[in-house]
Chain A
Amino acid sequence: MKRLLSLLILLFLASPVLASEELHLFNWNNYLSKEVVANFEQSCNCKVVQDYYSGTEEMMAKLLAGASGYDLVIPTQNAVQALIQRGFLEKLDKGALANIKNQDPGFLNRSYDPGNVYSLPYAYTTTLIGFNVQRLKEKEIEPTSWAVIFDPKVLEQIKGKVTVMDDADELFGAALKYLGYSVNDTDEKHLLEAQQVIMKAKPYWAAFNSSSYIKELTVGNIWVAHGYSSDMVQARNDALAAKRDFTVYFILPKEGAVLALDNMVIPKEAKNKKLALQFIDFLMDGKNAAGLSNDVGAGNPNAAALPFINPELKQLTAIFPDQKALATLETLEATNAKVRRLKNKLWTEIKLK
């Protein structure tokens, strides 16, 4: 009885205050500034309820399986394309979005949503290499190329200290770039070449890991990790805060990499579209948008945000790529069932052998 009572009390505490409105947000984990959320909650007298995902496919699977009740979703560009094609998204009412003028035109009107009918850019990350500066220096390895995760000659010296993402699109993307192809290459011959590159490097890797490489890097278990730029910023900050005897840093490989442009979209079935629009407009305000870079380490597609962003962060080309770096970056495109099937077969072979 006592336990039941305490459970009821917990439930009561967990339930939000009834009087205010709720905004249900489906976002990448660790991809929103807490302070900005608190400010919004105060200004609109509402509550932002967050639900998180850690991979595009996980989010897509959940949405396509019929998960409803989200008012705002933050998907990456290829997912936006697929969601539009599935007729899943609501057209954005631009009249309600005064801050739209703040957006950097370079990130608008992209091929996945021409004219930004359904989506507006939120933030961007690159998929790159995070590394332990001291350990690599001892081995005299310069992690400027994808060779640091793919070339057996380099890997021999850091065997068992490398993880790569447990994500077929990202890993094939990196391998294709290493070979000099586009990350969206669907030519079976090129994909087979990429598979060979991955297979040859695999014996030297510790694991496929997309979920805990921040921790592994900051603890010092892993010296080289393939992952998202915003995560690497966090790993660097965590290692600094923990006063480790090494530093974590990150670099954009010279061959180029995957650029992920994340967007704000409203599902057709959203219950609170008005509040969702209000939040989008709030996030496009320069000061609020800057929170995403300062607190999370993401790149920012909002021109008005730039003056508010920490200058140290702004000069990192891995986070804010300059024109030269931008030219080497590519966004992933949505793939059809046939290509997905082929990639998955190659991926399963990689995992099994």
Chain B
Amino acid sequence: MQGKSWSKYLLSLPPMAYLLIFFAAPTLIMLFASFRYPGEYGGLAPWYLQENGRITLDLTLENWQRLLCTDIYIRLFIKSIGYAVAATLICMVMGYPLALMIARSGRKSRDLLLLLVILPFWSNFLVRIYAWMIIFSPVGALTRMLNGVLDLFGVGPVTLMYSPTAMLVCLVYVHLPFMVLPLYANLEKHDLDLLDAAQDLGAGKWRRFWLITWPLSLSGVIAGSILVFIPVLGMFAIPDLLGGTDGIMIGNVIKQQFMESRDWPFGSVLSMVLTVTAVAVVLLGSRLGQRR
């Protein structure tokens, strides 16, 4: 017995070490960088100064103060969280019925349907975003058709490209499978006899759903929500390509710090806040899941 548990740890050691090292080490490096000065031409300035043989530390709280001395970064975080919450909710409302339908269909069609959900992953993420850019384009068929219909009702033309709507559509499109898959994995394992029993006892369709299926599926809902919420929170490619003039999210500003302004310390500060937010959401989610 003892030998068995020993081998269990041995086998799980490499992946554990991998995850720990490649999460903990960068986080610690960023934490340290967030207290340093940026280098004159990029990178980081040395963290100590050597003068007359004496070594003094050259660290600062300036980068953290910068985060708090204006409200733009806080507002940016709130805006990004807003997008993440919206995308998660839409994914849930759209993904739940889909996952339920797949889980309750026959074995043969189930495999096919699952394959169709995964199918978009076969082409590159950016290629799919560019495809959306063509669909939303002002001279594209969709926009022209929509504006043609709107015109009949006397409503002015709308632009789809470069709008918050376009961003949200793409965020949902890209992340929907991440909601459907964990939900399906959960729903598929439900004991259908419970539903039969409830029906025998006189429970209607809605009551059976809210009293049995929904509570049992909560862990899947939470897993799916985390898988959608966290990547959306840090997303920068979609706002970059589709966001228009005010579609910026926190991921874009972090990218700016490391690229355009070569300000690693401030980029580290923003990344730390993002990491802490993400970890907090995961902890909250797993706490909610346990309570049930």
B159: A residues at CB distance < 8 A? 160, 206
> Would you give the shortest CB distance from A23 to chain B, in whole angstroms?
26
Question: What are the residues of chain A within 8 A of B70 when measuring CB–CB?
Answer: 345
A64 touches B137 (CB 8 A): no
Expressed in whole angstroms, the minimum distance between the Cβ of B102 and any Cβ of chain A is: 25
B43 touches A64 (CB 8 A): yes
The answer to whether B72 touches A61, judged by C-beta atoms less than 8 angstroms apart, is no
B83 at the interface (CB under 8 A from A): no
Contact (A341, B162) CB under 8 Å given A57-B260, A60-B262? no
Contact between A206 and B161 (Cβ–Cβ < 8 Å)? yes
Q: Mark A325-353, 1 if CB is under 8 A from B, else 0.
A: 00000000010110011011101110111
B64 neighbours in A (Cβ, 8 Å): none
Contact B161 A221 (CB under 8 A): yes
Whether B42 is near chain A, meaning CB under 8 Å from some CB there, is yes
Let me know if A61 and B258 touch, CB within 8 A. Answer: yes
Asked if A207 meets B245 with Cβ closer than 8 Å, knowing A160-B159, A349-B72, A352-B72, the reply is yes
Cross-chain contact A352 with B246 (CB below 8 angstroms): yes
Interface residues of B in 237-267 (CB under 8 A from A): 240-241, 243-246, 248, 252-253, 256-263, 266
CB within 8 A of B244: which of A168, A206, A220? A206
Complex interface: stretch among B3-11, B32-40, B207-215, B219-227: B32-40
Chain B residue contacts of A344, Cβ below 8 A: 256-257, 260-261, 263
User: Min CB distance, B258 to chain A, in Å?
Assistant: 6
Q: B75 at the A/B interface (Cβ < 8 Å)?
A: yes
Query: Of A211, A221, A351, which contacts B246 at CB under 8 A?
Result: A351
Interchain CB contact (< 8 A) of B41 among A86, A160, A347: A86
A192 to B252, CA, bound (A): 22
User: Which partner residue on chain A sits nearest B79 by CB separation?
Assistant: A352
**Interface majority SS (helix, strand, loop, mixed), chain A:** helix
- Residue of A86, A208, A347 near B245 (CB, 8 A) is A208
CB pair B245 A206 closer than 8 Å? yes
User: CB of B101 within 8 A of chain A?
Assistant: no
Name the residue of chain A whose CB is nearest to the CB of B75: A352
- Size class of the contact patch on chain B: 35 or more
Q: Tell me if B29 counts as interface (CB < 8 A to partner A).
A: no
List, in ascending order, chain B residues with CB within 8 A of A207's CB.
162, 243-245
Determine whether the beta carbon of B259 is less than 8 Å from that of A61: yes
The verdict on A219 contacting chain B, using a C-beta distance below 8 Å, is: yes
Q: Which residue of A lies closest to B71 (CB)?
A: A352
CA distance A219 to B76 in the complex (A): 33
Chain B 61-97: CB-based contact to A (< 8 A → 1; otherwise 0): 0000010001011011001000000000000000000
- Tell me if A140 counts as interface (CB < 8 A to partner B): no
B285 within 8 A of A: no
- A236 close to chain B: CB less than 8 A: no
Count of interface residues, chain A, beta-carbon cutoff 8 Å: 39
Flag if A341 contacts B42 (CB, 8 Å): no
Whether, in the assembled complex, A167 has its beta carbon less than 8 Å from a beta carbon of chain B, the answer is: yes
Tell me the minimal C-beta distance from B204 to chain A in angstroms. Answer: 49
Contacting pair A336 B256 (CB below 8 A): no
Please name all residues of chain A whose beta carbon is closer than 8 Å to the beta carbon of B244 when the two chains form the complex. Answer: 206-207
A336 in contact with B260 (CB, 8 Å): no
| With A58-B259, A202-B245, A340-B263: A348-B253 Cβ-Cβ less than 8 Å | yes
Tell me whether A113 is interfacial, beta carbon within 8 Å. Answer: no
**Chain B residues whose CB sits within 8 angstroms of the CB of A169 once the complex forms:** 260
Judge whether B245 and A60 touch: CB under 8 Å. no
A166 to B39, CA, bound (A): 24
Chain A residues within CB distance 8 Å of chain B? 55, 57-58, 60-61, 64, 82, 85-86, 160, 166-169, 202-203, 205-208, 211-212, 219-221, 334, 336-337, 340-341, 343-345, 347-349, 351-353
| Nearest 3 interchain pairs by C-beta | A344-B261, A351-B248, A337-B38
Please list 25 pairs of residues, one from A and one from B, whose beta carbons are closer than 8 Å in the complex, sorted by A's number: A55-B260, A60-B262, A61-B42, A64-B43, A64-B262, A85-B40, A86-B41, A168-B260, A207-B245, A208-B245, A212-B133, A219-B137, A219-B139, A221-B161, A337-B37, A337-B40, A340-B38, A340-B263, A343-B261, A344-B257, A348-B248, A348-B253, A352-B79, A352-B246, A353-B246
Given contacts A166-B240, A206-B161, A337-B38, 10 further A-B contacts (CB under 8 A): A57-B261, A60-B42, A61-B258, A86-B41, A206-B245, A341-B266, A348-B256, A351-B245, A351-B252, A352-B246
